Amino acid sequence: MNDQRTVRDVIEFSGVGLHTGSDARVRLRPGVAGSGLRFRLLERNITFPAHAEYVVETRRATVLGSAGATVSTVEHLMSALLGMGVDNALIEIEGPEVPVMDGSAAAFAEAIAKTGLIGQHAPARTFTLEHPVVFRDGEALLAVVPADSFRVRFTVDYAPPVGAQFIDAPIAPDYFIREIAPARTFGYLHEVEALRSAGLARGGSLDNALVFAPDGPLTPLRWPSEVVRHKVLDLVGDFALLGARPCCEVVSVKSGHRLHAQAVQALRRLHATQHKALHGA
């Protein structure tokens, strides 16, 4: 039942990159059993595993890289891959970042669902831990607790008009595609203006982000809790960098990409140590 899975066929996405505004193209190719999720940066012909050790930057998006070549804004695509249950795939990238699509993971998740997955007759790799582990960064807190499946409970508390929001999200494909994948990237109007004048968010528009003015969102919300749902989407994408299916509950208060990357790097080290202790390797 818990065999590894890959995509049934090649899936291609193209569009604008949120930060650079340049054209970006992604191709998902089926991956052989045991290969995991891997990136190939076509312009430099560099291939590396989608693991937390390859995170090079987390300020505005999760950026992965190797040997000086980088790919930005991987978290929504990674979220769709883990959320939809893809264990193995080769992710070919043309351009400096993954296309932003509508600011959510909906297009990625729907294309994966439409193409379908195939089982690979090899047991899925899972990430388990023996004891709860807690990570902190300023006001942000992240507790990772052993469990049979992946579940995220997230609390945010942003400046008005967003405010405090909470969600308890059991991460499985049916739930993910319906309740999490369509939640969009968000920001405040004053931040968007500041980013633009700093030459950032060049590809940003009301078509690919949820923007809040002081009195409310500039476009209709998909849910009243769309912001915290997007935070879950981002967390799932960052936890995809564990390189295995998470069997844990994650309780987050106000965490972001930086704390997620630190946590996933530490959890990968912990897992390697536990594995060695168990098998005497």
Residue closer to Zn ion by CB (options 120, 185) is 185
Which residue reads 């935070």 in tokens?
231
Token pair, residue 35, equals 């290969």
Residue closer to Zn ion by CB (options 185, 208) is 185
Q: Is the dihedral of CA 20, 24, 30, 31 positive or negative?
A: negative
- 279 an active-site residue? no
Distances (CA, A) of 267 to 70, 142, 158: 23, 12, 28
Cβ 29 to Zn ion shortest distance, Å: 24
Token pair, residue 120, equals 């690979």
Cβ 79 to Zn ion shortest distance, Å: 8
Residue closer to Zn ion by CB (options 20, 185) is 185
Q: Are 107 and 13 in contact (CB under 8 A)?
A: yes
Residue number closest to Zn ion, CB atom: 234
Cβ 150 to Zn ion shortest distance, Å: 18
How does strand 133-137 pair with strand 55-57? unpaired
Residue closer to Zn ion by CB (options 112, 117) is 112
Among the options 51, 230, 257, 260, which is catalytic?
257
Cβ 75 to Zn ion shortest distance, Å: 6
The Cα 127–Cα 239 span in angstroms is 10
Residue closer to Zn ion by CB (options 59, 275) is 59
Which residue reads 């090899």 in tokens?
122
* Max Cα–Cα distance, the chain, nearest Å: 60
Question: If we measure between CA atoms, which residue out of 249, 174, 248, 184 comes closest to residue 210?
Answer: 184
Residues that bind Zn ion (CB under 5 A): 185, 234
Instruction: Determine the 3-state secondary structure of 106 from DSSP.
Output: helix
Cβ 76 to Zn ion shortest distance, Å: 6
Active site residues: 257
